[in-house]
Amino acid sequence: MASEAPLTDHPARDRHQLRTLLLAVAILSTVLLAVFLTVTTATWLNQYGFLHFPLGFYLLAQGLFILIVVATFWFIRIQDRLDEARAENEELG
Amino acid sequence: MSVPSRLRTANPHLGAYYGIVTSAFVSLILLLAMFEQLGASRTVLAETMLLAPLALYLLIAIGSRTLEVEDFFCSGRRVPPIFNGFVLAATAVGGVGVLVYTGAVFFLGFDALAIGLGWTAGMLIGGVLFVPYLRKAGSYTLPTFLGHRFRSRIVRMTASVVQLPPTALLLAAEMKIAALIAVLFLPVSFSLAVVTIAVFIGVTAILGGLRSVTWTGSAEFLVGAIGLAVVVTTVSIVLTNIPAPQLTYGEMFSSLHDAEITAGVTPVQPDGLAAALPGPAPMANGKPFLEPFGSMSEVDFATLFLCVALGTAALPSLLTRSGVTSSISDQRRSTAWGLLLVALFVMTAPAIAVFAKLILFKDIATVPASHLPAWLGEFGAQHLIQTGDTNGDGVIGARELLIARDGITLVLPRAAELPYVLSALMATAGIAIALAAATSHLFTLGASLAEDLYRVLDRRQTLPRLVAAWAAIAATALAAAVFLVIAEVDPLRAALSALAFAASTFFSTLLLAIWWPRCTVQGALAAMGTGFAVMVLGVAMGGGFAAEQTALTTPVASLAGVGLGLVAGVAASLYWRTSSKAEETYCVEMRNPDGEAIYDRAQQRAAATALAAPTAPAVPAASAS
């Protein structure tokens, strides 16, 4: 079976840009979704407790910050890998 | 083939230098604590605690002075990520965060969390969407980047003009916070404090530009972080026996709830679109801390969160620091460090508010009016707390206990009956963070006025580049001081308005400029102009920055500005010409993570051209002017 011809002259660059875009969309939508979900359910969540805090309050005061910090460092790791992969692909031609 | 970035090595002794700074400050705290036990007067303690670090910052600024353009405008692009993170965190939080946000949490409780959440999420959004690409572009200011991206002087000048409201408002807010603290702890008037602060931040920014802003800002951040951590941890130990305030204040909620009920605090309902935010004057606390969405509805909470998040993401003072590290990867890391530090502060602020509220309500609102604590008179004289048994029932109810929003953080150590040196330490922390943020805002404003207005308008370049920047920074500091002396500025409303302006004006413009190669000059101007116009309209309809409804109408106007700006930018780009080949090449280069910054390459080409033809007039870099 014949291999597919590249769609553009810069397949490594295009792949990198697409993956970068997908990563950005994924991380931002995850965080924003988590925030809005927590805001809309905070009153209900407050009936549960966590570490002496009402759960809804805890998530808005600490839980979401932990999520955002973890997501940021995870993003950096993945994005660095994407950048390295692009550099290697471009080196190989 | 990928091109390695030019080798930029950070000073290997930075860790040792800042270790010495930290040790010196800790030694100062211990020394003053001993002097207090030996009977030193409060005036001496406060003056030493506040002025000694100022001398240290000035020494660092003098040590980092420079006449090199690259050092002045981008700190030589060799700042280690953690140090850039220090300054990013100090600029994002600022004195407004330390004093005003904590005060807002004290009064609004649960509902104020929207602001802190917005700051943190905003740093993530900016770090993902904008920062790496601005680092690759390498422009010295945000308007310069937009000018280079669209090959347009008009875009550059317009961006510089519309950058004025957000940056100037934040500068005024931070200077006011620093001046308020100085007035409370030093024998100076408000006007003298404002002028002294303007001179201090002006000298710091002029001596070394972004280089001195970075290194003094790092020291100021460390002083601020140590001060806050020491005081809050000590209060946590006094109240809960555990030195982890972020984890232990949850245990105080039942006591706080009881104290609130005893003091007569009852659940409240959101009052339509009326302002929920507390003002700067002493006021009664009428909302239970844990009541969710009592002062603002869920929709208002989400709107405020989004406005603060998008404003932080597009804040020129933060984005100006996108070119100071040695690589794109380091720039991302520095944003992550900054975000982590902001998150740590925002997680600590509710602990400060809960501790302060519990102590105040237990010590004042639940005891007979004749047995009020002694420190109350001291705070009354400083207009931080006012009480009076107006209904004559023998106790001070919540309605009779008026507390100044911006004084909560400063009141906490005295109310917890800690040594006075810890009150002075908290003041030092607040003033340090406020100065770091104010210097960043001042540099951003001054550098943009010099680079994007003066250098574009004056084609003959009458003034050398650094002289123009010095003049612009000095003029901006003077204007800010005059404005603060004659105008009444509420730091909270000013800061929120600034973030709303930043979101409305720059978020959609940057999004299109970086992520949509087809965006044209007309599209950028349409996005920026529409966002700014909507925001101005919103502020005008809301009655100005100090209006009661600023808290809610301004965020709505800001988000409308973002949406309409995006629509206008896309429509104008599609309607008018397609982007030029140069713009497309710039976009492609900007997305390439390897190699030297685009601006630096242009500068090197210009320098090589000038060397090759020494008799010909120097050709400015294609993208440099």
* Gap between the terminal Cα atoms of chain B: 29
Backbone dihedral angles phi then psi of residue A50, each to the nearest 5 degrees: -150, 120
CB B402, CB B442: distance < 8 Å: no
3-state secondary structure of B517: coil
Give the mutation candidate from A41, A57, A73, A80 for the B interface (greatest B CB count, under 10 A): A57
- With a cut of 60, say whether residue A66 has pLDDT above it: yes
**How is residue B279 written in tokens?**
């003002």
Mean pLDDT calculated for residue range B597-617: 78
Give the mutation candidate from A9, A28, A39, A55 for the B interface (greatest B CB count, under 10 A): A39
Residue B288 per-residue DSSP state:
-
Integer-rounded Cα Rg, in Å, for chain B is 25
Between B142 and B595, whose confidence is greater?
B142
Q: Please, what's the largest Cα pairwise distance for chain A?
A: 63
Which pLDDT value is given to residue A70?
Answer: 95
pLDDT tens for B174-183 read: 999 999 999 9
Distance CA A2, CA B600 (A): 44
3-state secondary structure of B38: coil
- Pair type for strands A53-54 and A49-50: antiparallel
Which pLDDT value is given to residue B612?
Answer: 81
Which pLDDT value is given to residue B553?
Answer: 73
- With a cut of 70, say whether residue B546 has pLDDT above it: no
Cα–chain center distance at B73: 19
**pLDDT grade for B611, boundaries at 50, 70 and 90:** confident
- Closest-CA residue of B relative to A74 is B336
Dihedral angle of Cα B161, B215, A71, B4, to the nearest 10 degrees: 90
Q: Which of residues 505-544 of B touch A (CB under 8 A)?
A: 515
pLDDT tens for B385-406 read: 888 777 777 777 777 888 888 8
Q: Which of residues 32-91 of A touch B (CB under 8 A)?
A: 32, 35-36, 39-40, 42-43, 46, 51-54, 56-58, 60-62, 64-66, 68-69, 71-73, 75-76, 79-80, 83, 86-87, 90-91
State the alpha helices, DSSP H only, in B281-419: 298-313, 316-319, 328-360, 375-381, 408-415
Mean pLDDT calculated for residue range A48-54: 90
ipTM of the complex: 0.91
Distance CA B438, CA B461 (A): 28
CA–CA distance from B64 to each of B16, B108, B211, B219, B499 (Å)?
16, 42, 6, 12, 30
pLDDT tens for B461-493 read: 888 899 999 999 999 999 999 999 998 888 998
CA distance A6 to chain B (A): 18
Distance CA B195, CA A43 (A): 47
Backbone dihedral angles phi then psi of residue B386, each to the nearest 5 degrees: -125, 135
Say if B575 is an interface residue toward chain A (CB within 8 Å). Answer: no
Distance CA B302, CA B315 (A): 19
- With a cut of 90, say whether residue B620 has pLDDT above it: no
Taking CB atoms and an 8 Å limit, are A72 and B335 in contact across chains? yes
Tokens 């904008």 correspond to B130
3-state secondary structure of B461: coil
Give the mutation candidate from A14, A27, A55, A65 for the B interface (greatest B CB count, under 10 A): A65
Spatial CA neighbour of B447 closest among B93, B139, B65: B139
- With a cut of 50, say whether residue B619 has pLDDT above it: no
Q: In chain B, which residues have their Cβ closer than 8 Å to the Cβ of A31? A: 121, 124
pLDDT tens for A13-50 read: 888 889 999 999 999 999 999 999 999 999 999 999 88
Say if B559 is an interface residue toward chain A (CB within 8 Å). Answer: no
Which pLDDT value is given to residue B4?
Answer: 43
**pLDDT grade for B613, boundaries at 50, 70 and 90:** confident
Amino acid at position B354, single letter: V
3-state secondary structure of B229: helix
* Gap between the terminal Cα atoms of chain A: 23
Which pLDDT value is given to residue A88?
Answer: 82
Which pLDDT value is given to residue B168?
Answer: 95
Say if A9 is an interface residue toward chain B (CB within 8 Å). Answer: no
Percentages helix, strand, coil for chain B, rounded to the nearest 5? 75, 0, 25
Average pLDDT, chain A: 87
What long-range pairs does B265-270 form, CB within 8 A, spacing at least 24?
A: B265/B398, B267/B291, B267/B294, B268/B294, B268/B295, B269/B294, B270/B294, B270/B295, B270/B296, B270/B297, B270/B300
Number of CB atoms found within 10 A of residue B55's CB: 9
- With a cut of 50, say whether residue A6 has pLDDT above it: no
Taking CB atoms and an 8 Å limit, are A31 and B298 in contact across chains? no
Distance CA B299, CA B218 (A): 37
Distance CA B460, CA B119 (A): 42
**pLDDT grade for A8, boundaries at 50, 70 and 90:** low
Q: What is the pTM of this model?
A: 0.92
Give the mutation candidate from A22, A25, A60 for the B interface (greatest B CB count, under 10 A): A60
3-state secondary structure of A49: strand
Distance CA B397, CA B263 (A): 5
**How is residue B262 written in tokens?**
């005893």
Which pLDDT value is given to residue B271?
Answer: 67
Distance CA A12, CA B593 (A): 12
CA distance B447 to chain A (A): 30
- Give per-residue burial for B159-175: e unless 16+ CB within 10 Å, then b: bbebbebbbbbbbbbbb
- With a cut of 90, say whether residue B65 has pLDDT above it: yes
CA–CA distance from B271 to each of B276, B286, B297, B307, B544 (Å)?
8, 13, 9, 20, 20
Mean pLDDT calculated for residue range B523-542: 89
Q: In chain A, which residues have their Cβ closer than 8 Å to the Cβ of B347? A: 61-62, 65
CB B290, CB B257: distance < 8 Å: yes
Say if B278 is an interface residue toward chain A (CB within 8 Å). Answer: no
Which pLDDT value is given to residue B2?
Answer: 41
Q: Angle CA(B406)–CA(B303)–CA(B571) in degrees, nearest 5?
A: 130
Q: In chain B, which residues have their Cβ closer than 8 Å to the Cβ of A18? A: none
Distance CA A29, CA A25 (A): 6
3-state secondary structure of A54: strand
**pLDDT grade for B207, boundaries at 50, 70 and 90:** very high
Tokens 């508010």 correspond to B353
Does the CA dihedral B596-B600-B606-B610 come out positive or negative? negative
Least confident of A25-34, B289-298, B314-323: B289-298
CA distance A22 to chain B (A): 11
CB B508, CB B566: distance < 8 Å: yes
Q: Cβ contacts of residue B298 below 8 Å, gap of 6+? A: A39, A40, A42
Per cent of chain B over pLDDT 70 is 94
Q: In what order do the strands lie in the sheet with B401-403?
A: B283-284, B401-403, B385-387
CB B614, CB B153: distance < 8 Å: no
Which pLDDT value is given to residue B83?
Answer: 95
pLDDT tens for B258-280 read: 888 887 777 777 765 445 778 88
**pLDDT grade for B436, boundaries at 50, 70 and 90:** very high
Dihedral angle of Cα B347, B348, B352, B355, to the nearest 10 degrees: 80
Tokens 């957000």 correspond to B166
3-state secondary structure of B620: coil
